[in-house]
Amino acid sequence: MLQTLNLVLLLHFLSTEEFTKKKKLLRFFIRRRMMMMMFSPPLSPPLRARGGVGVNCKKNNNNTKKKKKKKNFCRFATASSNASSSSSSSSSSSSSEIDGTTKSVIKKIAQKLQSGELTSLRVTEMYLKRMKDSSLNCYASVNEEDALERAAEMDRERMNPERGEKKRSLLHGIPIAVKDNICTKNTYTTAGSKILREYRPDFDADVVKHLNKEGVVVLGKTNMDEFGMGSTTESSAYAPTSNPWDESRVPGGSSGGSAAAVAAQLCAASLGSDTGGSIRQPAAFCGTVGLKPSYGRVSRHGLLAYASSFDCIGPITSSVEDAAILMDVLCGNTGDDNNSNLDAKYFDSSNNNSSSSGSSSFTDAIVSKENLVDVAAPLKGKTFAVIKETFTGLDEKVSASVMESIELVESLGAKVHEVSCPTFLFGLPAYYILALSEASSNLARYDGIRFGAQDYLNMDLVDSIKSSRFEGFGAEVKRRILMGTYTLSEGYSDAYYKRAQEVRRLIYAEMTQHLQTYDGFLTPATSSLAYMKNENQEPLAMFTGDLMTVNVNLSGLPALVIRSKDSADENNTLLPSGIQIIGKKYGEAELLGVGHIIEMFSAERKLYKDAFPEASLF
């Protein structure tokens, strides 16, 4: 309880007069920025950056030198002062064509399945054997018999001459993993909690339905922080997961099991969920690719709720191309809920209008190096913003790694400017007030009667509910329920919950306003390298680990984390880190296209040595 009250004191500024003044100033600042951008004469792109001037733009303005003497906010060189503001067009070669140079694990396996070199059953057996030999604890439960039976069925389909002419999905017969809070029919789905230890849903989540339709083999359910509440996977009721790069470190959370399984090659790809960074932070810690889609892009039907206005399902893969392949399937429409119906309608219009590439699918945005219009400057015409506040208090190794990736982006023809987002630091306390308030409401259903373990029904009704929740929930979940109940209680909801909603609107307004000028943001994915186990035991220390990611969830924007340069720790162990690319609403296709280009040239220029901690299986 003391830890909960400490958090309340930390967030108390939201109810003070000082914050009210700051909120008014922030609103004034954002409105003034909007008016200046609407009515001021057009400036060259480097001068539109807040207070910054590109190093190659000395002749753009006579007052440049005077400003530069005071302070040069823009630390990032531009590749060309005359770069066009229009998007670079690329040949849209079909991503379904398999080439020998691809980094895509899904494509490599699909190629071997199509040629007959491997069968789906053999690939599934390979992954299952690796699981048994692994000490990482990536899986909460494994569906060995069901997976083998499903793989054999996919092989029979492939060899059936009557179906030989049918064009199959790249995912046909591919083994993947699913996070333990996404419902799979007649399979344990516990959300990492003892209170759901015997829960087997009688339906599949929408995303699982889409995958099954494409012929995917589900290997099992990956370990996670209980109900998604944590950043290390240490709050799981079924023991923590280890990081494949260094087993003394955590893989991140809450989708730590999914990210570790991909990095350790215990599956071809996996699904995670992201409420405040739960896909992106583990992806950075484990050296994988993690995509948090726009809120509403992928159906949440069948996802056990933590905070309903933040929760998103997304892919964790070993390459950007694999993420695009999965996104094409995850965004399908089964018509089971209003969310998927609305998204299906928006999907067509967003690809035709919002995306500059005009792609009809996410894989169309993935262009091989041979098909780039300008191999020397494939990002020419793109302009990205670096949020100044994200480099405050950043670990030196992470900072150096991210800066090297930013320099790579510039060398590929893009312009990079530094901007200030005064609302950025308000995101963390606002997120935790809103998310914990929603969690308090969502988790009220687990009373041992409607949902949850029913070990105490022989007691009085009230005692039964108390005992079920006391025994079933872990310490972190209890802490967050208490905090959420406090902020929603009478007399406090206006001081905390309502003001946090106002901050959310300010953050959304500021970020979307910047995205009218820029193609996206470049930020660190995490503030440090992967933590040592049991390092972040204090709740407040764990909360601050989400500083780089929560604003994306508050604004509902998509974000992609890809690997940046590896860093060595004090024991000279190489650890991965990631750079986060934040895109425009429903702009996942463009985001994946940019991420794929950065990934291709990062590997070519050897920013990191190995794709996996061990030799690649395929």
Residue from 288, 257, 299, 292 nearest 273 by CA? 292
Tokens representing residue 88 in the block: 């670079």
The contacts found for 147-151 with CB under 8 angstroms, 24 or more apart, are: 147/175, 147/217, 147/218, 147/219, 147/220, 148/121, 148/124, 150/217, 150/218, 151/119, 151/120, 151/121, 151/123, 151/124, 151/175, 151/217
| Cβ-based neighbours of 469, under 8 Å, separated by 6 or more | 195, 446, 447, 448, 452
Give residue for tokens 């390979």: 126
User: What does the angle CA 58 – CA 61 – CA 64 come to, to the nearest 5 degrees?
Assistant: 60
Other beta carbons within 10 angstroms of residue 381's beta carbon come to: 20
Is the separation of the CB atoms in 598 and 408 below 8 Å?
yes
Q: If we measure between CA atoms, which residue out of 158, 162, 161 comes closest to residue 170?
A: 158
Element spanning 165, H or E: none
Q: Rounded to whole angstroms, how far apart are CA atoms 266 and 127?
A: 5
Cα 19 to Cα 166, 231, 387, 426: the distances in Å are 62, 28, 22, 10
> What is the number of residues in the chain?
618
Query: In this structure, which long-range contacts are made by residues 207-213, counting pairs with CB atoms below 8 Å and at least 24 apart in sequence?
Result: 207/182, 207/271, 207/298, 207/299, 207/302, 207/313, 207/330, 208/178, 208/182, 208/183, 208/184, 208/302, 209/334, 209/336, 210/329, 210/330, 210/332, 210/334, 211/171, 211/176, 211/329, 211/330, 213/332
Candidates 278, 350, 356, 405; catalytic one: 278
Alpha helices in 548-587 (DSSP H): 550-555
Catalytic residue among 104, 242, 254, 294: 254
Identify the active-site residue in 103, 107, 108, 179. Answer: 179
Dihedral angle over CA of 230, 236, 237, 239, nearest 10? -140
Q: Residue for token digits 């409420």?
A: 275
- Return the SS3 of 428: helix
Residues 6+ apart with CB under 8 A from 78: 46, 54, 55, 56, 57, 410, 415, 416
- In single-letter form, the type of residue at position 459 comes to M
- Residue 465: which of 478, 482, 447, 481 has the closest Cα? 447
Longest dimension (CA), the chain: 83
Clarify whether 278 is annotated catalytic.
yes
DSSP 250-270: ---SSSHHHHHHHHTTSSS-E
Residue 217, helix vs strand vs coil: strand
Tokens matching residue 539: 């709740």
**Residue 233 and residue 224: Cα distance in Å, rounded?**
5
**What is the dihedral angle through the alpha carbons of 432, 438, 442, 444, rounded to the nearest 10 degrees?**
80
**Cα–Cα distance for residue pair 235/225, rounded to 1 Å:** 5
So which residues are the catalytic ones? 179, 254, 278
